[in-house]
Amino acid sequence: MTQVNDSPQRAPLIEQRSIDYIPEDERHGSLYSQFSLWLGANLQITAIVTGALAVVLGGDVFWSLIGLLVGQLFGGAVVALHAAQGPKLGLPQMISSRVQFGVYGAAIPIVLVCLMYLGFSATGAVLSGQAIAQLIEVSDSTGILIFAACIALLTLFGYRVIHLVGKVTSVLGIIAFAYLFTRLLTLNDIGLLLVNRHFDWSSFLLAVSLSASWQIAFGPYVADYSRYLPSKTSSWKTFAAVGLGTVLGAQASMVLGVFAAALAGANFRGHEVATIVGLGSTGVMAALLYLSVVLGKVTVSTLNAYGSFMCIATIISGFRGRLQIGAVQRMLFVLAIVGASTALALLGQDSFLGTFKFFILFLLTFFTPWSAINLVDYYFINKECYDIPALSDPEGRYGRWNLLGIGVYVVGVLIQLPFVDTHFYSGPLVAQLGGIDISWIVGLAVPGLLYYLAARRTVRAMPERMVLPTDPALAGQVRAQEG
């Protein structure tokens, strides 16, 4: 893959910027680092458990594997489309929401996204705590606390270190997964698991929803990790690097989870980490596999913490009217975020698997409409031409509140309710669909179409081309476009 300048002078180990625009002379990195980051982020235990749920909740092995792949490809494409925005905008993902929602209005989806990533981080900490507990013979709670300290430290270092960790964990993940699959295939008759091919729409759609939900959940922060790439980086190549990494990594993990759950049966619940490691060996090899589990979770949990920091900083900066966040503020935000997710992990560790399915599906209720609106606006309405300085100016072209974007977003959330299935609420159409939550499909299709139809008929002042902070003379050049 294309290599570009990765000079330490341009890329200090401790990140100096936060949510502000990345100037061209500070851009660095490679498309390979995008691939390795998202491969490593998906070769991990939570993705394994997500795949296992397809079998644990009633699906057969063969059709679960097919359903997971279908959802993987669809969700991975959505995530990769968001990632391609990073090099062009040079900004974190959620700041671009100010185009569709207004400088103040963007806080609405961002607050919800931030809260949901706290929960996502907490579920990862539970599994990591189990692995650390087995590795160094401490309690699960102590393991969670040790894991949290590592995440806080890596998040404080920022972008460059996160990509370095991604490269390391992707290599270790490939080695560990190759070993586990080898053991799995040589010690078990996998063919027997694939013989029973009873197709059931409910189970198949559940598998599709699980993997698509897993992928789309990366959407609100995926561009945070591509924004340092040079602006001339091909959008197609960025799409391919991120999409290939995330789909290959997640599918490998989920395939392993399906086989592990099918072999373990009822013993899988409550012993997820031990079951996976038990596929490999005992003694020193088991210890190495536990270490691999922990390192695999480090990448994605750091992404969650870093992305949550970006979300909080984006909200605050919108009302302050500037993008810069100081070093002390950064540290306080990160510690608060990691502390909150750790508290949730400690409180909820005993009921993890029973609630995980509902959590990963329910969280999408609130940001699938955002994802649809953001992608439609970027690629079809504004056509990759944003006014970067106006994103921090409530008096600028995007204004404080964009009622069109906010209205479509609210409709997108509400229209999903008949299809949502959670512990505390089940929509009226869920039973007719065999108990499957397909709200994420509705949440992408309906608001995306509504926003396109409404926005293209609205007179909007848009820049002729991308307006950058380094090119302020262009800020006043607008054109009125009427669909």
Q: Domain containing 200 — which CATH number?
A: 1.10.4160.10
Please name which of 208, 224, 214 lies closest in space to residue 363, comparing C-alpha atoms. Answer: 214
Domain that holds residue 283: 27-363
pTM given for the model? 0.89
Pairwise CA distance, residues 369 & 229, whole Å: 27
**Which of the four pLDDT bands, split at 50, 70 and 90, describes residue 476?**
very low
Q: Does residue 453 form part of some domain?
A: no
CA distances from 475 to 100, 106, 389 (A): 18, 21, 8
Using the predicted structure, report yes or no on whether residue 227 has a pLDDT greater than 90.
yes
The pLDDT value given to residue 344: 82
Tell me, yes or no, whether 122 lies in a domain: yes
Task: Let me know if residue 319 belongs to a domain.
Answer: yes
Q: How far from the centroid of its chain's Cα atoms is residue 210's Cα?
A: 14
Q: Give domain status of residue 373, yes or no.
A: no
**Kind and range of the H or E run holding 141:** helix 140-157
- The pLDDT confidence band at residue 352, using thresholds 50, 70 and 90, is low
CA dihedral over 469, 470, 474, 479, signed as positive or negative? negative
The CA angle 370-373-377, to the nearest 5 degrees, is 140
User: Per residue in 116-150, pLDDT tens?
Assistant: 788 778 877 887 888 788 778 888 899 999 999 99
Q: What is the number of domains present in the chain?
A: 1
Long-range contacts of 346-355 (CB under 8 A, 24+ apart): 346/141, 346/144, 348/122, 348/123, 348/126, 349/126, 349/129, 349/140, 349/141, 349/144, 352/123, 352/126, 352/127, 353/49, 353/53, 353/56, 353/269, 353/270, 353/272, 355/423
Mean pLDDT, rounded, for 209-225: 92
User: Does 434 reside within a domain?
Assistant: no
In a domain? residue 5: no
Residue-by-residue DSSP string for 204-243: HHHHHHHHHHHHHTTGGGGGGGTTTS-TTS-HHHHHHHHH
Q: How confident is the model at residue 198 (pLDDT cuts 50, 70, 90)?
A: confident
Mean pLDDT over residues 46-60, rounded?
88
**What are the tens digits of pLDDT across the range 401-442?**
999 999 999 999 999 999 987 766 788 988 887 777 788 899
Q: What is the pLDDT of residue 464?
A: 79
Q: CA–CA separation, 347 vs 134, rounded Å?
A: 20
Mean pLDDT of all residues in 382-409: 92
Give a yes or no: residue 468 inside a domain: no
Answer whether 15's CB lies under 8 Å from 157's CB.
Answer: yes
Q: What pLDDT does residue 271 have? A: 66
Q: Is residue 3 part of a domain?
A: no
Reply yes or no on whether the pLDDT at 482 is more than 50.
no
